[in-house]
Chain A
Amino acid sequence: MATFVVRRLIASLFILLAATYLMYILTALSGDPLEDLRTSTAPNKEQLIASRTALLHLDVPPYLRYFIWLFGVSKCFIGQCDLGVTVQNQPVNVLLAQAAGSTLQLVTLAALVAVILGIVVGITTALRQYSGYDYGVTFLSFLFFSLPIFWVAVLLKQYTAIGFNDFLYDPQIALWLIPILALLAGVIWMSILPGTGRRRLATFGIAAGVTAAVLVYMQLSNWFTYPHIGIVGIVLTSVGIALGVTAISTGLKRRRALYASLVVAGVGIAVYFPFMLWLSYYLNIGTFVLVAVITVVVSFAIGWFMGGDDRMPVARTAAITGFLVGGIIALDRYLSVWDDYAASDRIKGRPIATIGSATPGLEGSIWIHGIDTFAHLLLPTLALILISFATYTRYTRASLLEVMNQDYIRTARSKGLTERTVVVRHAFRNALIPIATIVAFDIGGIIGGAVITERVFGWVGMGQLFQNGLDHVDPNPVMAFFLVTGGLAILFNLLADLLYAGLDPRIRVS
């Protein structure tokens, strides 16, 4: 395994080297870096040209200039990165450090959401093949494939942001909309969940009823102005999470796993008030992460001690439950500062942002800043995930269908395994192999999409770094951008290879 990783790493490094060389040459040759000076009328034109030539080593031909750049980059190994300077004589290191944060945040969130949603929807469509739900999702994913990302981004900016902000100004759900939304929810849940006849009817009734009740409650409690989950909501969702995670992870028949995740949910509910009213006021980003880690570790330990003979699956179930319950409680804490945030003088009651990655000059706790980041990430992330989501859904569906037709699935069924075990353990694990390839391959596409999305939403990120560099025929910022994206692409390909090795024992052997 170690030799496999090392061999892959070395090969990847050489590929990255070749790709950077290609990019450097192409960028350097894409135009004339002195064009603006040549056409200028400044009296000291010659001097300006000479100084820029000296600054960017323009007297060295590009295929050799690359090695000057590479020498600066190679100093990264001794901790003194030198990515060169831009046309304006700003060090690229500093620019990259400013830009990378917001872009990576955007790309990571979009990729995560798209992968999770895509795989979940893909699985459900494959399991309900040729249902109305399947056809609907298929058509939607074809539509999403065909959407130009900048067009969606502009539409989202114009309609979603402005429309939703107007709605938040006077949050009243129209009365006729409640039954329509309830019926819609009922139909969607009915087509996803299994069963026939009366069971489907029951699903429809419950889903529609719950949706209507939640909407009416939101309306009456002025939810959109003072959003909250509250202790009742926390209890319901925590128990729901415990049941759901256990059902998927080990099956409800494993009593120990069920009890362990219920205990974890109970602990979550017990610390709710201390957390909301006391602990959360003392957190900063570092301690927040620490609390999250402690949550998962404690949940894992609870599972471990309650696990009995076969501890690992129980501990895993408890850890996932703990993570999700913690997430819900944190979400409630974020929501509790929503009205302060929306009413603050920086926001002026229009919380969904269309420009930039953070509100300048905003002061407040990490919760306020978290909400602010979320409000800025919402639209670009939506624009980015639509397209990747469609790809992942289609591939997951195709891959799972292919696996479900294999002989070993029939064998698994015929030896009496439950449907959950067949789908989760036998089918899904194998279906993941092609999906891993697609996700690794697609990460470059998400970054490319981010370049366009950032421009529409006015983010100061790596897309802007790239575009400014390219407009000035300045290879240094372009290469800084490419070092990050190319490095990410290679890293993800490596991760995909490792994932294969984890999923498919045959690859590990050879």
Chain B
Amino acid sequence: MSNIPPAIEQPGHHAPGVTDSENSIEAKEVEGLSQGQIVRKRFFRHRGALIAMVALVFIIVLAFTSVGIKFGDVKSGGWWPYTWNIAVDIENAGRPTLSLFPFVIGNHPFGQDEVGRDIFAVVMRGTQQSLMIMVIVGAIATFIGTVIGAIAGYYRGWTDAVLMRFTDVIITIPVIVIGAVLGRRYGIQGAQVLAVILGLVLWTGLARLVRGEFLSLREREFVDAARVAGARDRRIIFRHILPNAIGVIIVNATLLMAAAILIETGLSFLGYGVQAPDTSLGKIISENQGAFSTRPWLFWWPGLFIIAIALCVNFIGDGLRDAFDPRQRRMPTDRALSRARFVGRNA
């Protein structure tokens, strides 16, 4: 390879312990691609993240099409014959009708509870709520964390001190504790309000990370160049520094969303989260704790969906980390290595 991009040859890009042939694979892979394309390519190479993404999309589609959407006054029905809040006659003693060998879905694949509600519909409704809470929390917490971290890291001095001490104060209170205190008051107003509240307390970790990132990025040459060219602070923050910190932000936003779903279910379990008549995955488990020995399926299915969603989001986060952070890249396979050596020798 004679036309290796010069960036690869700079010190600092040449990771210690990495041989030239490995570097040339890296160089060949990213040659002529934009940053977005490189990230996308690396992300799709992470098999776990890819599977997780397909699974998550499947869960989302399943949850929202099956029992339909109810958002305020807007309602739409789904293809599933039962709804999550209406009880029907109990069949098969409420046992799940789902079986793999032979494959049968049946009328109530996840079973029924003691009053006869279809658990599939209940779990789907809970999944909808948990997913929605996850997205809202992720959006709000990421926004607040990024803004506070960016301002603190960029302006330093007094601004930094005040904002970071404020962050320290919030961090001192365990999330589940402040979530419970706020959820007790606001949980009754619906899942959306609870999500907003959770978003307002979960931003602290991200703010610290973004601040650290900004502190180091603001000393780089391209920021000086922008300032010399007459860019205002706002432009430097949003157009120059933020795009360089986007990897850290996206990765931690996904991890935050995985944490949010667990915190919501935990709060609902304690009774400070989503309130009846609405439901969420944590609330289903909390309601049916006592019935474990008689109707374990009331307990299994919501739990499996919580784990599936959190696991998918965590894996996607890991894939994004690999994609954005070339230091943590995968080891090339033996085949790729030998091919690169071969190409290198013949160049």
Contacts and interface: CB of A to CB of B under 8 A. Distances in A.
Interface in A1-54: 11, 14-16, 18-19, 22-23, 26-27, 29-31
B282 to A, nearest CB: 7
Contacts of B289: 154, 456
Contact of B173 (A22, A151, A401, A402): A22
B contact patch SS: helix
A317 to B, nearest CB: 31
A451 B177 contact: yes
Contact of A151 (B176, B270, B303, B318): B303
B182 A30 contact: yes
Given A154-B289, A154-B299, A23 B181 contact: yes
Contact of B307 (A27, A143, A482, A490): A143
Contacts of A445: 174-175
A470 B177 CA distance: 10
B175 A148 contact: no
Interface string B239-281: 0000000000000000000100010011001101000000000
A415 to B, nearest CB: 16
B307 A142 contact: no
A29 B15 CA distance: 55
Listed residue (A31, A406, A448, A451) with the most chain B CB atoms within 10 angstroms of its CB: A448
A402 B303 contact: no
B318 A142 contact: yes
A504 B328 CA distance: 24
B168 A15 contact: yes
A485 B177 contact: yes
Contact of A142 (B15, B180, B184, B315): B315
Contacts of B262: 146, 148-149
Listed residue (B176, B266, B311) with the most chain A CB atoms within 10 angstroms of its CB: B176
Contacts of B165: 11, 14-15, 18
A147 B327 CA distance: 29
B303 to A, nearest CB: 4
A26 B270 contact: no
B7 to A, nearest CB: 19
A148 B303 contact: yes
Q: How large is the interface on B (under 10, 10 to 19, 20 to 34, 35 or more residues)?
A: 35 or more
Given A15-B169, A407-B16, A148 B282 contact: yes
A452 B269 contact: yes
A444 B311 contact: no
B173 A452 contact: no
Contacts of B174: 444-445, 447-448, 485, 489
B28 interface: no
B178 interface: yes
A398 B173 contact: no
Contacts of B270: 451-452, 455, 467
B181 A406 contact: no
B185 interface: yes
Given A130-B331, A146-B314, A398-B328, A478 B175 contact: no
A150 B262 CA distance: 10
B318 A19 contact: no
A444 B175 contact: yes
Contact of B15 (A15, A145, A405, A451): A405
A15 B172 CA distance: 8
A395 to B, nearest CB: 12
Contacts, number: 138
A407 B12 CA distance: 11
Given A23-B181, A452-B266, A143 B306 contact: no
A481 B168 CA distance: 19
Interface string B25-66: 000000000000000000000000000000000000000000
Contacts of B205: 441
Contact of A470 (B180, B258, B310): B180
A448 B176 contact: yes
A466 interface: yes
Given A30-B185, A444-B175, A486-B173, A148 B266 contact: yes
Given A148-B262, A148-B282, A444-B175, A19 B169 contact: yes
B169 A26 contact: no
A254 interface: no
A410 interface: yes
Contact of A29 (B185, B282, B310, B331): B185
B80 interface: no
A405 B15 CA distance: 8
Contacts of A406: 16
B180 A26 contact: no
A284 interface: no
A272 B165 CA distance: 54
A320 to B, nearest CB: 32
Contact of A16 (B172, B258, B269): B172
A31 B183 CA distance: 11
A405 B16 contact: yes
A365 interface: no
Contacts of B175: 444-445, 448
Contacts of A482: 173, 177
A54 B270 CA distance: 30
A355 to B, nearest CB: 14
B177 A147 contact: no
Contacts of A221: none
Contacts of A27: 181
Given A145-B310, A151-B306, 9 more contacts: A18-B169, A30-B184, A31-B185, A129-B331, A148-B310, A154-B289, A154-B292, A158-B292, A448-B175
- 7 shortest A-B CB distances, which residue pairs? A448-B176, A146-B310, A444-B174, A448-B174, A146-B311, A19-B172, A151-B303
6 contacts: A22-B169, A23-B177, A146-B258, A405-B16, A444-B174, A448-B266
Interface of A: 11, 14-16, 18-19, 22-23, 26-27, 29-31, 129-130, 142-143, 145-151, 154, 158, 398, 401-402, 405-407, 410, 441, 444-445, 447-449, 451-452, 455-456, 466-467, 470, 478, 481-482, 485-486, 489-490
